[in-house]
Amino acid sequence: MDLPDNAISARGLVKTYPATRTMPAMQALKGVDLTIPRGAIFGLLGPNGAGKSTFINILAGLTKKTAGRVEIWGRDIDTRARDARAAIGVVPQEIAADVFFTPRESLDVQAGLYGVPKAQRRTDELLAALGLSDKADAYVRQLSGGMKRRLMVAKAMVHNPPVLVLDEPTAGVDVELRRQLWAYVESLNRQGVTIVLTTHYLEEAEALCDTIAIVNRGQVVACEPTAQLLKRLDTRTVVVTPDTALAAAPRIGEFETRLRPNGDLAVAFKSAGAGVEQVLAQIRAAGVTIRDLRTEDPDLEDVFVALTSDSPRPEAA
């Protein structure tokens, strides 16, 4: 069977939640067009309430769309619902596991729900890959939060889906666990699994994702390769360490200046309109003697804020 070019394709996707006694009707998705290439690590970012969870729930079959068309691994979720669900594994943000089962039992039950024959189950392989072998026969209620999150990833992989969706997978976990989890995710991607990631850790998305879509108010406001998305802003920043501590940021021409808590002076400028030498000349003209300096390019957070400036900044999870 030929592999599809795209892991997920959405066209004109709309979701409207009907009015209730206390809330008016709400349109969570407003004609979303989104293509996720096969084999990508794809970032789906946006402020709280942007529509990310609604999109994921439609993919998972948990929410019924109002209009539009969605295909997962080339399978229409309306006409081939069972096949579409078999092609995707979803790791929800909320930890949901039967605390009276062991991890081994949890994976076996999940595999049974997907109709995976006992001879083809990968329970021990998944437990080992996610560092849960020594807890295979402990009750889930005895596991730490990080272990439970790893178990959720294993449950999503029991039927060997070609697409894995991770909704805030590293929220609230320590740095070491985050590294372990991403090492496993990257190994899955090298094996051909398409990864769709939502995260509030923008540096994480910048480091891992080859393509990023930003959703705001139910619409896709950007969808580009990560490197191309970062080039959207032509703003650079000159950061100087003054010889003498400054009491406040001085006025430097028409540039935006800010005094950082460590005493460094940050001067932002448009690359197309000025060069570093021009900025430095203005800094010296303002009476600032420079002891050290460096330049900074925009990061994903800058792009995110620029594209969703009518919304709150993403929370630090």
What is the pLDDT at residue 195? 97
Q: What is the pLDDT of residues 120-148, one digit of tens each?
A: 999 999 999 888 999 999 999 888 888 88
Same domain, residue pair 194 and 258: no
In a domain, residue 163? The reply is yes
In a domain, residue 246? The reply is yes
Same domain, residue pair 249 and 101: no
Same domain, residue pair 220 and 90: yes
HSE value, Cβ hemisphere, 13 Å, CA-based, for 55: 37
CATH number at residue 281: 3.30.70.100
Burial class (CB in 10 A: 0-12, 13-18, 19+), 28: buried
Q: What is the pLDDT of residues 179-234, one digit of tens each?
A: 888 888 899 999 999 999 998 888 888 889 999 999 999 999 999 999 888 877 66
Same domain, residue pair 205 and 267: no
Same domain, residue pair 195 and 248: no
Distance separating alpha carbons of residues 70 and 84, to the nearest angstrom: 10
Domain of 76, in residue numbers: 6-228
Name the pLDDT band for 311 (thresholds 50, 70, 90).
very low
Reply yes or no on whether the pLDDT at 317 is more than 70. no
Which of the pair, 152 or 235, is modelled with greater confidence?
152
Same domain, residue pair 182 and 80: yes
Distance separating alpha carbons of residues 172 and 39, to the nearest angstrom: 27
Please say which residue of 228, 254, 269 terminates a domain.
228
Name the pLDDT band for 315 (thresholds 50, 70, 90).
very low
Q: Which of 97, 69, 68 is nearest to 84 (CA)?
A: 69
Same domain, residue pair 247 and 214: no
Name the pLDDT band for 313 (thresholds 50, 70, 90).
very low
Question: In this structure, what token pair is assigned to residue 266?
Answer: 């940050």
SS3 string of the chain?
A: CCCCCEEEEEEEEEEEECCCCCCCCEEEEEEEEEEEECCCEEEEECCCCCCHHHHHHHHHCCCCCCEEEEEECCEECCCCHHHHHHCEEEECCCCCCCCCCCHHHHHHHHHHHCCCCHHHCCHHHHHHHCCCHHHCCCCHHHCCHHHHHHHHHHHHCCCCCCEEEEECCCCCCCHHHHHHHHHHHHHHHHCCCEEEEECCCHHHHHHHCCEEEEEECCEEEEEEEHHHHHCCCCEEEEEEEECCCCCCCCCCCCCEEEECCCCCEEEEEECCCCCHHHHHHHHHHCCCCEEEEEEECCCHHHHHHHHCCCCCCCCCC
Please say which residue of 181, 213, 228 terminates a domain.
228
In a domain, residue 115? The reply is yes
In a domain, residue 59? The reply is yes
Total count of domains within the chain: 2
CATH number at residue 66: 3.40.50.300
Reply yes or no on whether the pLDDT at 108 is more than 90. yes
Q: What is the pLDDT of residues 50-88, one digit of tens each?
A: 999 999 999 999 999 999 999 999 999 999 999 999 999
In a domain, residue 188? The reply is yes
Same domain, residue pair 74 and 119: yes
Same domain, residue pair 244 and 138: no
Q: What is the mean pLDDT of residues 30-59?
A: 94
**Beta strand 163-167 with 194-198: parallel, antiparallel or unpaired?**
parallel
In a domain, residue 284? The reply is yes
